[in-house]
């Protein structure tokens, strides 16, 4: 039986010991960690205590539960992107189109960007690296925009698609916030409901007065980091 720290609650002691083992590489990412029953016996605590510790580590992005297989150490893949969304595509990423629909912008958080209240084209796509999704992007465009540009938005980053038509971003406004995962986001990233997400809402005014791009990019907090440069 493992000796636990008396200054911590039982589940905190179990959690921190498991975190130490994960950091030290004691558990392989290719094999499930010991079962709840085995950990309960090893630590001399109840299965409820072990499950609470595992939930904490899953919420922190250290573990991932795979239905029917067990709990695994989560592969740590974090993509570094520029905060101003002006960074073009990267060699190690790929884009997969999800859907193109016509709808209004209904997310109340987008109100900070003063979006129009009419129906727009909504292009959904996912950005992948190392065979795993790292970002989910919703791009809103004027419904009158040329179909050729619409198709390119579904398979390219915003800046890349605009440049192909000699359209340049002249002004960008960004809102960064955190939000719990729900619905489609849970399915795309295979994360539990409420998992912390980083959201980057943006509005880009271009050299074409008829094209203003609105959007929201989402990623699990442990898969995306943003950088910003100051003069």
What domains can be seen in the chain, in order of their start residue? 10-73 (1.10.10.10), 79-227 (3.40.1410.10)
Q: So what's the pLDDT on residue 231? A: 65
Query: How far apart are the C-alpha atoms of 148 and 160, rounded to whole Å?
Result: 14
Residues 72, 31: contact at Cβ < 8 Å?
Answer: yes
Q: So what's the pLDDT on residue 88? A: 47
Q: So what's the pLDDT on residue 165? A: 87
- The stretches in the chain having pLDDT less than 50 are 87-88
Q: So what's the pLDDT on residue 18? A: 92
Among the listed residues 27, 50, 20, 28, the one whose alpha carbon sits nearest the alpha carbon of residue 38: 50
Q: How far is CA 70 from CA 35, 37, 117, 220, in A?
A: 7, 12, 46, 21
Give the DSSP per-residue string, 22-87. HHHT-S-TTSPPPPHHHHHHHHTS-HHHHHHHHHHHHHTTSEEEETTTEEEEPP---EEEETTS--
Q: So what's the pLDDT on residue 75? A: 73
Q: So what's the pLDDT on residue 215? A: 92
Q: So what's the pLDDT on residue 93? A: 77
Burial degree of 226 (CB within 10 A; 0-12, 13-18, 19+): middle
pTM above 0.85? no
Q: So what's the pLDDT on residue 228? A: 66
Residues 214, 203: contact at Cβ < 8 Å?
Answer: yes
């Amino acid at each position: 039986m493992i000796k636990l720290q008396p200054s911590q609650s039982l589940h905190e002691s179990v959690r921190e010991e498991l975190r130490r083992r994960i950091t030290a590489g004691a558990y392989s990412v290719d094999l499930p960690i010991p079962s709840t029953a085995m950990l309960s016996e090893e630590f001399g605590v109840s299965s409820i205590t072990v499950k609470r510790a595992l939930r904490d580590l899953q919420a922190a992005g250290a573990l991932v539960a795979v239905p029917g297989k067990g709990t695994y150490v989560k592969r740590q893949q974090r993509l570094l992107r520029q905060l101003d969304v002006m960074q073009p595509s990267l060699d190690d990423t790929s884009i997969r189109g999800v859907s193109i629909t016509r709808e209004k912008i209904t997310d109340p958080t987008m109100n900070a960007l003063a979006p129009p209240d009419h129906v727009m084209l909504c292009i959904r796509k996912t950005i992948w690296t190392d065979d795993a999704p790292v970002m989910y992007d919703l791009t809103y465009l004027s419904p009158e925009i040329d179909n050729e540009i619409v198709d390119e938005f579904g398979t390219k980053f915003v800046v890349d698609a605009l440049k192909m038509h000699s359209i340049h971003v002249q002004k960008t406004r960004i809102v960064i916030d955190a939000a719990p995962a729900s619905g489609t986001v849970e399915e795309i990233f295979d994360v539990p409901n409420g998992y912390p997400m980083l959201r980057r809402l943006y509005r880009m005014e271009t050299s074409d007065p008829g094209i203003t791009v609105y959007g929201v990019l989402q990623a699990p907090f442990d898969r995306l980091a943003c950088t910003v440069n100051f003069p």
